[in-house]
Amino acid sequence: MSAVCLVHLVWAPLGAEPVRRFVRSYTEHPPGLGHRLLVVLNGFDDGEVPREVTAALDAVEHETLRPQQPVQDLAAYRLAAERAAWAERMCFVNSHSEPLADGWLAKLDAQLSRPRVGIVGATGSHESQFSSAARPFRPWRSRFYPPFPNPHVRTNGFMLRRSDMLALEWSIGRSKSSAHRLESGKAGITRQLLARGLQPLVVDRDGRGHAPEAWAVSRTYRSGEQEGLLIADNRTRHYAAAPPRERAWLASLAWGPAADGRDRR
């Protein structure tokens, strides 16, 4: 029995195309590591899951979990971790995720196995919801977010040990802002793990692990042409398609005013 649970979130309002994209990339790029795939069918309420969604999922072996009501992504991940009592390690990929390289799951797992590593992800950012906010909103956001730089692993595609995950404070409401706080706030996932002496790493397409100080030049998230990106999502696709001026602005949010979307080594 595999000790790795791979969780993929299917969000009902997005329809079947993101499911097809994930299944296509999942089959074209073998994960390279034994695992069980758990698909969370989120937001379908009591209705039937559309045939086009189930048809796409029929192409891969999987189990399903269906929350009783729509929940935020990170809340769905917590439900999945509670369900997968057999797992030692949990990898989560959201509805927009698209693996880009063979062995992508094995590459994440190898870096998570390094001493004192607590979480690995395909992308990370230094963005601060406090520093990037308009001045009228900063007093409120200062309660929840640290100023820039605020290193955190993005939750579009990440992996951690199940025991570490269940030991974290995982409070999340139904609002998107509560999800943002858990991802990148003062009491967010990365900061809780850092407080326990566990380090975050970003893993690139070649399987190399990058510490937070190297994320801006890792060519993964809003860096260069993102040549090192292991798992794409809607944000990385947005950056890839953006004109130069918008790219520079997006890079500055992630890496500070000196960033311009190019490799600064």
pLDDT digits (tens, 9 = 90+) for 182-195: 999 999 999 999 99
Q: Each residue of 88-107: pLDDT tens digit?
A: 999 999 999 999 999 999 99
Please indicate, yes or no, if residue 29 is contained in any of the structural domains.
Answer: yes
CATH code (residue 111)? 3.90.550
Token match 């989560």: residue? 92
Q: Which SS3 state, helix, strand or coil, does residue 123 take?
A: coil
**Higher per-residue pLDDT: 88 or 131:** 88
In percent, the amount of the chain with pLDDT more than 90 equals 85
d(CA 22, CA 8): 9
| pLDDT for position 264 | 36
pLDDT at 173 over 80: no
pLDDT at 143 over 80: yes
pLDDT at 37 over 70: yes
Using 50, 70 and 90 to split pLDDT, how confident is the model at 259?
low
pLDDT at 141 over 90: no
User: Beta-carbon neighbour count of residue 174 at 10 Å?
Assistant: 11
Q: What is the mean pLDDT of residues 218-230?
A: 97
| pLDDT for position 263 | 41
| pLDDT for position 174 | 76
Instruction: Identify the helix (H) or strand (E) that includes residue 24.
Output: helix 17-28
Please indicate, yes or no, if residue 147 is contained in any of the structural domains.
Answer: yes
Domain count, the chain: 1
| pLDDT for position 113 | 97
The answer to whether residues 9 and 91 touch, using CB atoms and an 8 Å cutoff, is no
Q: What is the mean pLDDT of residues 150-161?
A: 97
| pLDDT for position 187 | 95
**Higher per-residue pLDDT: 47 or 40:** 40
Using 50, 70 and 90 to split pLDDT, how confident is the model at 1?
very low
Using 50, 70 and 90 to split pLDDT, how confident is the model at 18?
very high
Q: What is the mean pLDDT of residues 226-235?
A: 98
| pLDDT for position 137 | 76
Please indicate, yes or no, if residue 250 is contained in any of the structural domains.
Answer: yes
pLDDT at 149 over 70: yes
d(CA 263, CA 261): 7
Q: What is the mean pLDDT of the chain?
A: 94
Number of H helices, E strands in the chain: 10, 12
Please indicate, yes or no, if residue 262 is contained in any of the structural domains.
Answer: no
Using 50, 70 and 90 to split pLDDT, how confident is the model at 2?
low
Q: What is the mean pLDDT of residues 75-86?
A: 97
Please indicate, yes or no, if residue 264 is contained in any of the structural domains.
Answer: no
Please indicate, yes or no, if residue 263 is contained in any of the structural domains.
Answer: no
**Higher per-residue pLDDT: 104 or 138:** 104
Kindly give the interhelix angle for 73-83 and 176-184, rounded to the nearest 10 degrees: 70
Beta bridge partners, 64, equal 39
| Domain hosting residue 23, numbered range | 4-255
User: Beta-carbon neighbour count of residue 228 at 10 Å?
Assistant: 22
Please indicate, yes or no, if residue 261 is contained in any of the structural domains.
Answer: no
DSSP structure class, residue 262: S
Token match 């097809």: residue? 20
| pLDDT for position 172 | 83
Please indicate, yes or no, if residue 8 is contained in any of the structural domains.
Answer: yes
d(CA 12, CA 19): 10
Q: Exposure string (b/e) for 106-127, b if CB count within 10 Å is 16 or more?
A: bbbbbbbeeeebbbbbbbbbbb
The answer to whether residues 202 and 122 touch, using CB atoms and an 8 Å cutoff, is yes
